[in-house]
Amino acid sequence: MVSVILFSVPLVTHYYLSKYESSSSLGLNAMQNTLDALVDISTVNAEDLKIRIKEMLRIKASVSTELRELEERRGRLQKEAAAASAKAESVKAEYTRATAELQRLRVSADQARLAQLEAIRRDSPELAPPNQILPSRPPPIIPSLHPSSEVHCRMHSCFDHSRCSLTSGFPIYFYDPDIYSPLASAEIDGFLKTTLRQTLSYNAHLTRNPNEACLYLVLIGEAFPSNKNPSSTTEPYRLLLNETAIKQLPFWGGDGRNHVLLNLARRELSVGSGDAFLGTSTGRAMIAQSTFKLQQFRPGFDVITPPALGPPGGDVWAECAPMAPARRKYLMSFQGSKSPATDPNRDNDKQLIEALQKTAKDSPTSDVFFLQFECDPSVERRALLPIGDWALCGTDRSRRSVLRDSTFVLILAPADHTYASTALLQARLYEALRSGAIPVILGGDRTRLPYDEVLDWRRATLSLPKARVTELHFLLRALSDADLLTFRRQGRLLWERYMSSLQASVDTLIAVIRTRLNIPGRPVAPIMGTPAFNESYYPTKVEPPAVDSEPEETLGPLEAPYPSPAYRRNYSMILLQGYEMWNEWGEPFTIYPQLPWDPPVTSEARFMGSAAGFRPIGAGAGGSGKEFSEALGGDRPREQFTIVILTYEREAVLAAALARLRGLPYLNKVVVVWNGVTGPSSSTSWPESGAPVAVVRTQRNSLNNRFLPYHLIETEAVLCVDDDAHLRHDEIVFAFRVWREHRDRIVGFPGRYHAWDLNFNNGFLYNSNYSCELSMVLTGAAFVHRYYLWAYWRLLPAAVRDYVDEYMNCEDIAMNFLVSHITRKPPVKVTSRWTFRCPGCPVTLSADETHFHERHKCIQFFSQVMGYTPLLSTQYRADSVLFKTRIPHDKQKCFKFI
C-alpha cells in the first residue's frame, strides 16, 4: 500500500503542476497547499491520504468549472467585439450612403431651383394639340368663274382659305352619292359608293356638319366608253356629266370653291378610263383623277390619283413579292399591244419597238428580256382602246407572274403627246410596284405620277425620255444590287402607304391638300388604359426591404415627374421635314406629340437665347464624375423616362421589380401592364418605388400589349422591362443617356442575332449565342421612343401582330423588325454587365423548349410579310466614356462600375 502511494504521489504532483500552470491565483494557492500537505506524505496514514485525495479532486472540479466560465465569457466578449465591429462598418456604410443621398438631394434641389427659375423666365406658353377654330356658316354664294379662266386656277386664286384655319383640323364633308349624283347617263358604281363611304368613316377629318367643313368631296364615278365605234377617231371615253346637277350642290357656293371632284378609275383597264371632265365647266373646284391632258391639268391645284385597283383597305402584305434576290429572271419585261396611230399628235413608236427588239436580240450579255408587243387576239379588246395607246395584255394573274420575274418593267408614256397621265399608265405603275419590278418609264420626262408634288418618284422609278432607248441596256446594267434593292424597297413603301387600297389612296388625297395649306393633321389618339384599381382604393405602399447593392454613386438628381414637352412642332414639321414624312420615316396622316427625328439646337443656342431646359455638364465647361452626375448634358433638354412592365399574375415578382426601382434617377412613372385574366389582389401591399405607379388591365392576354401607346405614358423615352429582369440603377441611367443620343433606335441590354440557315438556305434563324455581331436588342430590357408604340399598331402589318398572338411569342423581334425597317439602322447594345433573368423566379415562357424554335419561324414569317429582312447587323457596343481610361485619383469616372 505504501509503495503504491509512494509511486502515485509524484505522478499526481506532476499532473497538477502541468495542468494548472496558467490558472488563477486561487487555483495556485490551493495547489500550493496540496503540495505542502504532501511533503510529509510518508507520515500520513492511509485514511487521511484518502481524504486529501478527495479534497484534491473537489478542487480540480472547481477549477475546471471556473475555467469553463472564463472561456464562455471570452467567447461572449469576442462576439460583442465582432458585433461592435460590424455595427461600426454598417454605420460607416450608412454614413457613405447618407453622404451620397445628401449629395443627390443637393443636386436635386439645385435642379429644382433651376427649373423654377426657367418656369418664371419662360415667355412662351406650353403647346398642346391645337383647338379647332371652325366656320359656322355654309360658303356664301358668289358669281361663277368664267370657263376660260378655270384653267388658271391655283390655290391662291380659287381656294377659300378663310374656311380652313390653321387650327381647324381640316374637316371634310362627303356628299352622299345616293342623293347627289352628277352623272347624266349612268349610276355611280355601287362598289365605289359603298367602299368610299366606309373608307371615309375611318378618316379623322370627316365631319357630318357641312357648315364647318373646309373641303367638300364629290364622287363623280369613273369614265367608261360612251362611244364603242372602233373606226371612230374621236375621243371614245367621255363620261357625260350633268353640269347643272354639279352646280346645284347645296354647298357649291356659286363657283365650286373648296370642292374636290373625284373620278376613280376602277373598271377593266384593258378597256381604258378616260378624262371625265374634258370640255366641262367645273368652276373653282379641284379635280382628282388618273387621266389628265397637259392643257387641262393645273399643277398645285388638281391631283393625279392612282386607279382604284386594290382592295377597300386592310392588310395588303400578301399582294407583294419578295424583294430578294436583287436580280430576277428577266432583266426587263413588257406586255402590251398598241392600236394604230392615226392622229399626228400620237407617237408611232415603231422605231422605239425596233430598238428594244434589237437590244433584246443582240445583247452581248446573258441578260434575258421578256418583250411582248402583240397581245393574244382572243384576249385583246382593241376596239375599246384609246387610239394609238398601249393596252394591257393577258389577265392580272399572268401579268403578275411575269412581273415577279422581272428586275425592271418597261412603261411607255401615253402615245398622245397632249396627255400628262392616263389611267393605263397609272395601272402599269401600280402593278409594277406591287410585284417589286422597278418601273422604267420611257417618255417619263413629260408625264406626271400620282401625288408627285409630295412623293419623290425618282427614288422608286427610272424616268427617261424616249430618246434614251438605245442607252437603256447600259443604264440598267450599271445599277448595283444595293441600288436595285433600294429602288424596290422605296417603291414598295410608296405603294403600300399611298396606293395599295382605296382607303390608302383617299387618305393620301386628303393629306396632300391639307399639306398644301400647312394644316397639321389630327393628333394621334392614345390608348386609354383601364385602371386595375378604382379611384377610391389603391394598394398600401410599404417601404421596400433593404437589398444588397454595389457601392453607392450619385447617378443623377431625384426630380418630381416632368413630362416631355408635346406638340411643339405642329406647324413646322411639314415645312422642315415634310419630305421625310412623305418619303422616309414618317407617315403624314396624323401628328404625334414628339418624333425621334426632332432636330436639336446648335451648340451656341444652348447658352445663348435657348438655354431653357438644358443641363450642360459643369455649366458648359465639362467635367468627369461629380459634374457629370449633376446634369444630363448632351444636345437635348432635360427629360425623364417611363418604365413599362408587362406582367402576368406574378405579384411577388412584380413587387420585387418595383422595390428595385427605389431611388432611380430620371424615373417619371411606372406603368404596369397587367396581362392576367384576373386582376391584381386588392389585399396585397406593394413596395414604394419612389415614382407614381399606374396599373392598367388589358382586354386580353397578348404580348402585343407591351407596346400599347397608353395615355399614361408622358415621356419620349420608354424603358420596356420584363417583371423578372434585374438591372442595376447605373446600367439603366447609362442606357438612358445613350438612348438620348440614338433616339430613333432601340437601345438596350440583351443582344441577339439573325443567322443564316446553313442547312437549308431558306432564310434566317434566331441566334442567341455569343457573337461579335448583333442585329436585335430584346425589348425585355430596352429603351424605345414613344413614337414606335404607335408605329407598332399603325405601320406594322397586322399579320405580324396576329402571328405574335397565335404563338404567344416574338413581339420583341417584331419591334426590332419595325424600327430597322423605318430607320435602316441597327439597334444599340449597351454595357457588358447585366442580369436579364432572375434565378429564383417561376418558369417563364422563354423556358419552354418550343420557344426557341418558334422564334426561328417568327423571323422567317416576318420577312415574308415585309418582303425582306430589315434587320441590320452591327459590331458596335456602347460603353461609358472613360470606361478603361486611367484618370487622376482626385477625379471620378462617368460611371464607376460600367
What distance in Å separates the CA atoms of residue 764 and residue 864, rounded to the nearest whole number?
Answer: 11
Cα dihedral 788→790→795→798 (10° resolution): 110
DSSP 512: H
What distance in Å separates the CA atoms of residue 629 and residue 156, rounded to the nearest whole number?
Answer: 55
Question: All 3 cell numbers of residue 365?
Answer: 450579255
In sequence order, what are the residues at sequence separation of 6 or more whose Cβ sits closer than 8 angstroms to the Cβ of residue 867? Answer: 317, 320, 321, 322, 323, 436, 489, 492
Single-letter code of the amino acid located at 182: P
Beta carbons of 509 and 305 less than 8 angstroms apart: yes
Catalytic residues: 812
Element (H, E) at 64: helix 46-121
DSSP 769: S
Beta carbons of 333 and 371 less than 8 angstroms apart: yes
Phi, psi of 669 (to 5 degrees): -165, 155
Q: At what angle do helices 46-121 and 25-37 cross, to 10 degrees?
A: 170
Q: Which is it for strands 172-174 and 776-777: parallel, antiparallel or unpaired?
A: unpaired
Beta carbons of 715 and 671 less than 8 angstroms apart: no
Work out whether the CA dihedral 205, 209, 212, 213 comes out positive or negative: positive
Peptide bond preceding 225: is omega within 30 degrees of 0, i.e. cis? no
The CA-atom distances, in angstroms, between 359 and each of 134, 171, 326, 432, 832 are 61, 53, 22, 22, 58
What distance in Å separates the CA atoms of residue 535 and residue 542, rounded to the nearest whole number?
Answer: 19
Beta carbons of 710 and 671 less than 8 angstroms apart: yes
DSSP 393: P
Q: Which is it for strands 438-442 and 667-674: parallel, antiparallel or unpaired?
A: unpaired
What distance in Å separates the CA atoms of residue 743 and residue 717, rounded to the nearest whole number?
Answer: 8
Beta carbons of 367 and 477 less than 8 angstroms apart: yes
In sequence order, what are the residues at sequence separation of 6 or more whose Cβ sits closer than 8 angstroms to the Cβ of residue 19? Answer: none
What distance in Å separates the CA atoms of residue 898 and residue 622, rounded to the nearest whole number?
Answer: 20
Beta carbons of 302 and 337 less than 8 angstroms apart: no
Beta-ladder partners of 217: 174, 260
What distance in Å separates the CA atoms of residue 877 and residue 753, rounded to the nearest whole number?
Answer: 14
What distance in Å separates the CA atoms of residue 857 and residue 865, rounded to the nearest whole number?
Answer: 12
DSSP H helix total and E strand total for the chain:
20, 27
Find the radius of gyration of the CA atoms of the chain: 41
Q: What is the Cα 519 distance to its own chain's centre?
A: 25
Beta carbons of 111 and 557 less than 8 angstroms apart: yes
What distance in Å separates the CA atoms of residue 818 and residue 796, rounded to the nearest whole number?
Answer: 6
The CA-atom distances, in angstroms, between 686 and each of 21, 217, 536 are 64, 56, 17
The CA-atom distances, in angstroms, between 484 and each of 280, 429, 434, 872, 897 are 43, 17, 15, 18, 47
What distance in Å separates the CA atoms of residue 598 and residue 856, rounded to the nearest whole number?
Answer: 35
> Among candidates 525, 528, 513, which has minimal Cα distance to 588?
513
Question: All 3 cell numbers of residue 211?
Answer: 357648315
Strand ranges for 475-573 from DSSP E:
530-531, 541-542
